[in-house]
Amino acid sequence: MSYFGDIYKGIKTLLSGMSVTGKVFLNNKNNAITQQYPDNRETLKMFDRFRGEVVMPHNENNEHRCTGCQKCEIACPNGTIEIIWDRQVDPETGKKKKMIDQHIYHLGMCTMCGLCIEACPTDAILWAQNYENSVFDRTSLTKVLNQPGSKIMPGVED
Amino acid sequence: MKIALNITKTIQDLLLGFMPEGTASILAMVIIALIYLAIFSVAGLMLVLVERKVAAWFQLRIGPNRVGPWGLLQTMADALKLVSKELTGTVKADMFLYNLAPYFVIVSSLMALAVFPFTQEFQAFDINIGIFFLIAISSIGVIGILLGGYASNNKFALIGAMRSGVQTISYELSVGLSLLTMILITGSLQLSEIVEVQKNGWLIVQGHIPAVIAFMIYMIAGTAETNRAPFDMVEAESELGAGFHTEYSGMKFAYFFLAEFINMFIIAAVAATVFFGGWLSPFGITDSIPWLGVFWFLGKTFALVFLMMWFRWTFPRLRVDQLLTLEWKYLLPLNLLNIVLMALIVWLGLTIQL
Amino acid sequence: MDTNSANSNLKSEDYFINMGPQHPATHGVLRLLLTIDGEIIKKVEPDLGYIHRSIEKMCERDSYQQIVHLTDRMDYLSSHINNEAVCLTVENALELEVPERVKVIRTIIGELTRIASHCLWWGVMGMDVGALTTYFYGFRDREMINDIFEETCGARLTMNYNIPGGLMFDIHPNFVKRTKDFVAHFKTKIPEYDKLLTNNVIFQKRMKGVGILSKEDAISFGASGPVARGSGYSCDVRKYHSYSALDKVTFNEALKSDGDSLARYEVRIQEMWESLSIIEQLIDNIPEGEHKIATNAVIKLPKGEFYQKVETARGELGVFIHSTGTKNPYRLKFRSPGFSNLSLLNHIAVGGKIGDLVASMATLDLVIPDIDR
């Protein structure tokens, strides 16, 4: 009789499987886990720790916190960060001081490991939460993080 | 308003007004064939859309929703894309057979549509061996699959074609025998007459236990006939890539694809006609309005199509040897027993007549 | 040719099939050269190297902090555990004792990673045997874990949350709540997995008695993880070489003795339950404290050879560092679980059907970048 028993058991397991998908089907309006991505740009918010790209925040006086210590450049595994710096006379103290000319960030080479931001002693660079980083031209992935004409914030030391 | 449901006769009468009889009947057939072709290629596309939507709802997704309102024109757009695509193929393919294969598949499935009674008298071709015709026609489709797999000079396609041959030959038996079980009650192969008989209760009620068994066997074998999951050995995309149609592209691929969906419709329509009373309304609630039969027929068919989609999106695929085990060790013996049971029931007059 | 003896001269050739590197069932760029006789497999030859990135060589160039992020890209489904392996090796070499808080968080996230990996495996397993819907159900639950990771680590897949000496930053305030929500949610979902796939008669028939690997073979092929435990070889690194906070929790090692595909499948389902129980034991009492201890900006390991193994979702991952006392390793070798597990594919697939090969390969749970590195 195990022949018919097998058939019975087989059909039972098939039906119980169908009940799982059937429940999902009936509740399909609330269940959908997919997002309609480009349409939900307004409501789509990344988590505040999301690693989108490295940015250097500036305050309203066009000042940043980067001292040009190059720790991020050393920490980066891929050579993503290049800092072009110079020794300039600090107008306040009158001493020569290391100042950045350009903080270059190659987004195309970045693996979002976060080591540069860990390494930064002055919190000059941070993660931005933007997520649409694709561009048509590879060269535009190379970014200069400090704004033109920006200065170091007074009082920021290594 | 009186809607002329007997379309063959209506068109023929119309044509007879201005041409001799022979020409008129041939022309009438051509016109009806064209109408069917147009309706069912669109219906096939809609079925593809339904399948995609249903699949999405089973799978926690939204499904097509971009082209047209609620994505209703999605498959139309897909069809347009497929028409405009380049036809590629392998270099050493047997070009004649390779090109012939899709037509075998699509023609055989379109031919089968001719015999369905959509409602009283609304039937293109009321042949007196209807069921037999259906079974015979649906066997031709496999030749197309075999040819396609063999001729496209691809190893995956060849394995797919071999599997297809094995599968269809086996499951033809079960489809035929389970329908034969029901023929024992009706005593006729003519589809219109099979529906007539069911005015005393649908056959699944009339034949009770053996009819339910026959229906289950028919649905299993029918799913296998259409090469759909869980019997999609022929395509088995995790094993064979795309199976027999690996090397087809563009419109030739679309033929295979469309044929799969029309076949699904046919299998469901046969089940609706033979087991669930075709265009008859439940308890005769709409008998006074004959054209509503189309609604009932399509409603029953789509319910069964949905069942087949439910199978597809729930079950894992069988292995090729288990496929044959299921047929030869389970379905076929049960089917033969079932026929004897049904014969006894009919002989002893134990059928339920409402 | 002599026509009289034509029959005896009939030559039969092997039928070769190239499965991959672009094939839906190989989960990446693995190429299998199959020799088949009709449907029956006569030989399987894996051909590797399509995604080789010489990670081990790159590690010799990088500092010890930088090595960690490369291991994300090996077995990307258990990236956190890979990170942990490197960090543990470096910490052991430096004889650093990381705070309790770090250990507990590492363990919780490691177990979450294991569940996430098994969720994905379960979905793909179903897809390989033809049940397409499982894929989405597996991803539904994996997505919740990914959200937990994204909130805490900032990334969903290549997390790089561990650093030698602790964690890059502390857990997010929502972490505990989200994890508890997930545990509660997932406890209702595993029975659903069983109903949908495990108990299904077709699935049982496909898996039972297929791809049998004996315990002796599992040991001699160097199998590890669920593959070996499915053959009754008790080899859970978490049990025998406990690391992080795993010595504080009680859990059972999922073990089956049948050695067939179904046993490997059931071991993984069982592991999900065990991981849930580990998370439950730890989540309520994460000790307070620092999330890292300060290390030198330039880590120099003492001269010598250091080895540490951990249990990833796939099996035993070993990290071997040969240091000459500089800031880079002289040689770094990863003992990846996937490579050994793949080596036994030929052994378990020969004699089966093509469908069996796909099903057995799915139970090996291969991640190709882990194999090629």
Q: What is the DSSP string of C202-218?
A: HHHHHHTT-S---HHHH
Chain B's closest residue to A33, CA to CA, is B60
Residue B61 lies in a domain: no
**What's the distance, Cα to Cα, between the start and end of chain A in Å?**
84
Compute φ and ψ for B35, nearest 5 degrees.
-60, -45
State which residues form the domain around C330. 52-372
Helix (H, G, I), strand (E, B) or coil at C123: helix
Report in angstroms the alpha-carbon separations of C213 from A102, A122, B251, B280, C260: 60, 57, 46, 58, 6
Supply the pLDDT for residue A158.
66
CA angle A16, A21, A24 (to 5 degrees): 130
**Does the beta-carbon distance from A47 to C70 stay under 8 Å?**
no
Answer yes or no: are the C-beta atoms of A56 and A145 closer than 8 Å.
Answer: yes
The pLDDT of residue C7: 60
Tracing tokens 């649908």 back to the chain, one arrives at B202
Q: Do C69 and A77 touch (CB under 8 A)?
A: yes
What pLDDT score does B184 carry?
85
Same structural domain, A67 and A24: no
Same domain, A89 and A136: yes
Domain presence at residue C27:
no
Mark yes or no for CB contact A20/B315 under 8 Å: no
Same domain for A73 and A107: yes
Confidence bin at A154 (pLDDT 50/70/90):
confident
Residue in C229, C282, C268, C317 with CA at minimum distance from that of residue C114: C268
Instruction: Name the residue of chain A whose CA is nearest to B220's CA.
Output: A11
Q: Comparing C-alpha atoms, which of B89, B77, B51, B42 is closest to residue B252?
A: B89
State which residues form the domain around A14.
1-33
Quote the DSSP letter at residue C44.
E
Contacts of A25 in chain B (CB under 8 A): 54, 57-58, 310
Give the H or E element holding residue C105.
helix C100-128
What domain range includes position B315? 92-347
Question: Average pLDDT of B70-76?
Answer: 85
The answer to whether residue A42 is domain-embedded is no
Average pLDDT over residues A18-26: 85
Q: What does the pLDDT profile of chain C (373 residues) look like in tens digits?
A: 445 555 667 777 788 888 877 776 667 788 888 888 878 888 888 888 888 888 888 888 888 888 888 888 888 888 889 998 999 998 888 888 888 888 898 899 989 999 999 999 998 888 888 888 888 888 888 988 998 988 888 888 888 888 888 888 888 888 888 898 999 989 988 898 888 888 888 888 888 888 888 889 889 988 888 889 888 888 888 888 888 888 888 888 888 888 888 898 999 999 999 999 999 888 888 888 888 888 877 888 888 889 988 988 888 889 999 988 888 889 888 988 888 888 888 888 888 888 888 888 888 888 888 888 8
**pLDDT, position C1:** 45
Is position C326 within any domain? yes
Of the pLDDT bands very low, low, confident and very high (cuts 50, 70, 90), residue B24 is confident
Residue C302 Cα to chain centre, angstroms: 30
* Rounded Cα–Cα distance for residues B32 and B38 (Å): 10
For CA atoms B14, B17, B21, B26, give the dihedral sign: negative
pLDDT confidence band for B2 (50 / 70 / 90)? very low
Asked if residue A147 is part of any domain, the answer here is yes
Contact partners, residue A6, CB within 8 Å, separation at least 6: none
What is the pLDDT, as a whole number, of residue A98?
77
CA dist B72 → B39, B52, B64, B314, C29 (Å): 16, 11, 8, 25, 37
C183 at B interface, C-beta within 8 A: no
- Chain C residues in contact with A127 by the CB 8 A cut-off are 154
- What's the pLDDT at B1? 35
| Same domain? A134 vs A84 | yes
Say yes or no to pLDDT of B11 above 50. yes
Give A56→chain C minimum CA distance, Å.
18
Contacting residues of C for B232, CB less than 8 Å apart: 130
| DSSP H or E run through C304 | strand C304-311
Distance from C-alpha of C255 to C-alpha of C274, rounded to nearest angstrom: 12
Dihedral, B326, B329, B333, B335 alpha carbons, nearest 10: 0
What pLDDT score was predicted for residue B289?
73
Domain membership of residue B161 (yes or no) is yes
In a domain, A40, yes or no: no
What is the dihedral sign for C-alpha B138, B141, B143, B146?
negative
Residue C195 DSSP symbol? I
Q: How far apart are CA C346 and CA C365, in angstroms?
A: 15
pLDDT digits (tens, 9 = 90+) for B149-159: 888 888 888 88
- Residue at B232 is within a domain: yes
- Show the tokens assigned to B108: 């055989």
pLDDT at site A20: 85
Residue B349, pLDDT > 70, answer yes
pTM (two decimals): 0.87
C43, part of any domain: no
Say whether C136 and A19 touch across the interface (CB within 8 A). no
DSSP characters over A28-56: HHHH-----GGGGTTT----TT---EEE-
Cis preceding linkage at C21, omega within 30: yes
Nearest to A10 among C136, C158, C201 (CB): C201
A 16-75: CB under 8 A from B: 17-18, 20-22, 24-25, 28, 31-34, 36
Q: Which residue has the higher pLDDT, B168 or A92?
A: B168
- For chain A, list the strands marked E by DSSP: 53-55, 63-64, 81-89, 96-106, 126-128, 142-144, 151-152
Do the domain assignments include residue C211?
Answer: yes
How far, in Å, CA of A5 to CA of A90, rounded?
90
Does residue C220 fall inside a structural domain? yes
- The CA dihedral of B106, B111, B112, B113, to the nearest 10 degrees, is 100
Task: Note whether A102 and A84 are within 8 A (CB).
Answer: yes
- Looking up residue C77, the CATH number of its domain turns out to be 1.10.645.10
Structure tokens at B123: 């039937």
Report the number of distinct structural domains present in chain A: 2
The answer to whether residue B119 is domain-embedded is: yes
* A66 and A25 together in one domain: no
The total of structural domains in chain B comes to 1
- The ipTM (two decimal places) reads 0.83
Please report whether residue A158 resides in a domain: no
Q: How far is C175 from chain A (nearest CA, A)?
A: 12
Same domain, A19 and A58: no
The answer to whether residue B70 is domain-embedded is no
Beta pairing, strands C316-323 & C331-335: antiparallel
Query: pLDDT tens digits for B280-326?
Result: 777 767 777 777 778 888 888 889 888 888 888 888 888 888 888 88
Residues A3 and A71 reside in one and the same domain:
no
Q: What was the pLDDT predicted at A1?
A: 62
Interatomic CA distance for residues B101 and B108, integer angstroms: 11
**For B57, which of A18, A20, A25 is closest by C-beta distance?**
A25
The pair of three-digit structure tokens given for residue B10, joined into one six-digit string: 């209506």
Judge whether B274 and B179 are in contact, CB under 8 Å: yes
User: Residue C73 has what pLDDT?
Assistant: 87
**Closest to C108 (Cα-Cα) out of C153, C44, C66:** C153
**Residue C67 touches chain B, beta carbons under 8 Å:** no
DSSP collapsed to 3 states, B230-284: CCHHHCCHHHHCCHHHCCCCHHHHHHHHHHHHHHHHHHHHHHHHHHCCCCCCHHH
Q: Name C318's bridge partners.
A: C309, C335
> Could you give the number of structural domains in chain C?
1
Query: CA-to-CA distance for A135 and C180, rounded, in angstroms?
Result: 39
C-alpha distances in Å from residue C46, one per residue of B32, B52, C218, C315, C371: 56, 36, 18, 20, 11
Contact predicate C313/C132, CB 8 Å: no
Locate all alpha helices (DSSP H) within chain B, ordered by sequence.
Answer: 7-16, 21-58, 74-84, 95-112, 130-151, 155-186, 191-197, 203-206, 208-225, 237-240, 250-275, 292-312, 320-325, 332-347
Q: How many CA atoms lie within 13 A of B182 on its CB side?
A: 37
d(CA A25, CA C1): 65
